[in-house]
C-alpha cells in the first residue's frame, strides 16, 4: 500500500512498508564505528542484592546500563548546542518535527595540497544539478554519501586518522539555500583537529549572529549502494535526551511524484496534483 505526502504544491507517494535504515548500530565492543577517541559502547548488567539483570545469568529479566558517547559512537544527530553554552540549546528544543523531504547525493572528495580529503562545494553543486527538476522543490534535508562507498564505514575506527570533512563553503551554501538538516557518512563536517575553529559547524548553524536553531547535523550514517540518488522522505528519529546530541535512527522512504489528474467540473477543467477526487 502506498501513502502520499504533499510538499511544495506537489504530491508524492511512498511505501511505508519499505523503510531504508541509514543508521549504524550501537553495540558493545570495538568492532563498531568510533571517532574522536570515544570509549566503545558498553552494556553493564545491573546487580542489586540478589537481583541480577541478565536472563542468561539466571535473572528474571534483562536490565542493563548503557554507556554511550553520542558524538563518538554510531549515528548521532546534533543541534547548535554542540557549539553553544545556551541552556536551551538542546536537541529536544531544536528538533520538533521529524518528517522532511530530503535529497540523497553522492560525491567524491578531493585530496588537497596538504593531503586532506575534502568534500568541495563545486562537486555538491554538480551533484544537485543532476536533479534540476527536483531541486526546484528546495528540499529540507541533504543526505550526503561520500565515494567510494566502502562497507568499512560501518565499523571504521576514525580517531587519529584525519577523516574526510567538508569545505566550509559547503555549509555556507546549504544554509543560504535553507537546508535545515544535513546528514553525512563522516565523523564530522569539520577537520578532526582544527584548533577549535569548527568553521563548517558555525557556517551551517549561522552561529552566533543569525543562529538557525531548528537546523541539525547527523553524522556517521551509512547509505547503502542500492539507494539511488534522488528524493526521499526522511524520518529523523532521536531519543529524548536533554542534550546537544542524541543517538539517532534516520529512515528514508523513496518518493515518487504523482501525475496531475484532470478533473471535469461544472465550471470547466481543472488540474489537481495527486490522487484526490472532485
What is the H or E stretch that residue 168 is in? Answer: helix 168-176
The whole-number pLDDT of residue 129 equals 84
Q: Are 215 and 181 in contact (CB under 8 A)?
A: yes
**CATH code for position 85:** 3.50.30.50
Does residue 269 sit within a domain? no
Mean pLDDT throughout 6-17?
95
Mean pLDDT throughout 260-272?
47
The whole-number pLDDT of residue 131 equals 72
Mean pLDDT throughout 66-79?
97
Q: What is the pLDDT of residues 210-225, one digit of tens each?
A: 999 999 999 999 999 9
Q: What is the pTM of this model?
A: 0.91
Does residue 235 sit within a domain? yes
The domain tally of the chain equals 1
DSSP classification of residue 259: P
Peptide bond into 148 cis (omega under 30): yes
Residue 175: beta bridge partners? none
Q: Which residue has the higher pLDDT, 240 or 268?
A: 240
Which residues have a Cβ under 8 Å from the Cβ of 130 and sit 6 or more positions away? Answer: 229
Does residue 10 sit within a domain? no
Residue 65: beta bridge partners? 44
Mean pLDDT throughout 82-108?
97
Query: Which alpha helices (H) appear in 71-156, and where do they start and end?
Result: 91-94, 121-129, 132-135
The whole-number pLDDT of residue 150 equals 92
Sort 220 into a burial class: Cβ within 10 Å, 0-12 / 13-18 / 19+: buried
Does residue 277 sit within a domain? no
Does residue 224 sit within a domain? yes
DSSP sequence for 51-78:
EES-GGGT-SS--EEEE--TTTBSSEEE
Where does the pLDDT of residue 259 fall: very low under 50, low under 70, confident under 90, or very high at 90 and above? confident
Nearest one of 249, 275, 190 to 2, comparing CA atoms = 275
Asked if pLDDT for residue 135 goes beyond 80, the answer is no
Does residue 113 sit within a domain? yes
Asked if pLDDT for residue 149 goes beyond 50, the answer is yes
Q: Are 193 and 158 in contact (CB under 8 A)?
A: no
C-alpha cell at 110: 578531493
Give backbone dihedrals phi and psi of 276, rounded to 5 degrees, phi first.
-75, 160
d(CA 257, CA 232): 11
Q: In Å, how far from its chain's centre is CA 272?
A: 33
d(CA 143, CA 256): 17
528519529: which residue's cell? 237
The whole-number pLDDT of residue 272 equals 42
> Which range of residues forms the domain containing residue 114?
17-28+70-257
C-alpha cell at 90: 538542546
Does residue 6 sit within a domain? no
Does residue 144 sit within a domain? yes
DSSP sequence for 147-163:
SS--GGGGT-B-TTS--
Mean pLDDT throughout 19-30?
95
Q: Are 135 and 128 in contact (CB under 8 A)?
A: yes
Q: Which of 49-63, 69-83, 116-130, 132-146 is predicted least confidently?
A: 132-146
Mean pLDDT of the chain: 92
Amino acid at each position: 500500500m502506498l501513502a502520499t505526502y504533499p510538499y511544495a504544491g506537489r504530491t508524492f507517494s511512498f511505501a511505508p512498508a519499505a523503510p531504508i535504515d541509514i543508521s549504524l548500530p550501537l553495540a558493545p565492543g570495538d568492532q563498531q564505528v568510533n571517532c574522536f577517541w570515544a570509549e566503545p559502547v558498553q552494556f553493564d548488567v545491573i546487580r542489586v542484592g540478589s537481583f541480577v539483570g541478565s536472563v542468561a545469568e539466571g535473572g528474571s529479566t534483562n536490565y542493563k546500563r548503557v554507556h554511550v558517547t553520542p558524538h563518538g559512537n554510531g549515528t548521532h544527530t546534533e543541534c547548535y548546542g554542540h557549539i553553544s553554552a545556551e541552556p536551551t540549546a538542546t536537541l529536544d528544543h531544536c528538533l520538533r518535527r521529524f518528517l522532511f523531504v530530503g535529497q540523497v547525493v553522492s560525491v567524491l572528495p578531493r585530496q588537497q595540497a596538504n593531503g586532506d580529503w575534502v568534500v568541495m562545494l563545486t562537486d555538491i553543486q554538480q551533484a544537485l544539478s543532476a536533479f534540476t527538476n527536483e531541486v526546484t522543490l528546495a528540499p529540507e534535508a541533504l543526505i550526503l554519501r561520500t565515494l567510494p562507498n566502502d562497507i568499512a564505514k560501518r565499523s571504521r575506527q576514525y580517531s587519529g586518522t584525519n577523516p574526510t570533512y567538508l569545505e566550509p563553503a559547503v555549509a555556507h551554501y546549504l544554509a543560504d539555500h535553507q537546508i535545515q538538516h544535513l546528514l553525512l557518512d563522516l565523523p564530522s563536517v569539520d577537520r578532526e583537529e582544527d584548533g577549535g575553529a569548527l568553521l563548517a559547524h558555525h557556517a551551517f548553524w549561522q552561529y552566533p549572529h543569525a543562529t538557525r536553531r531548528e537546523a541539525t547535523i547527523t553524522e556517521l550514517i551509512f547509505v547503502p549502494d542500492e539507494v539511488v540518488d534522488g528524493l526521499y522522505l526522511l524520518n529523523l528519529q532521536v531519543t529524548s535526551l536533554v542534550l546537544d546530541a542524541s543517538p539517532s535512527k534516520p529512515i528514508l522512504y523513496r518518493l515518487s511524484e504523482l501525475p496531475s489528474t484532470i478533473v471535469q467540473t461544472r465550471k470547466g477543467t481543472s488540474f489537481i496534483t495527486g490522487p484526490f477526487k472532485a
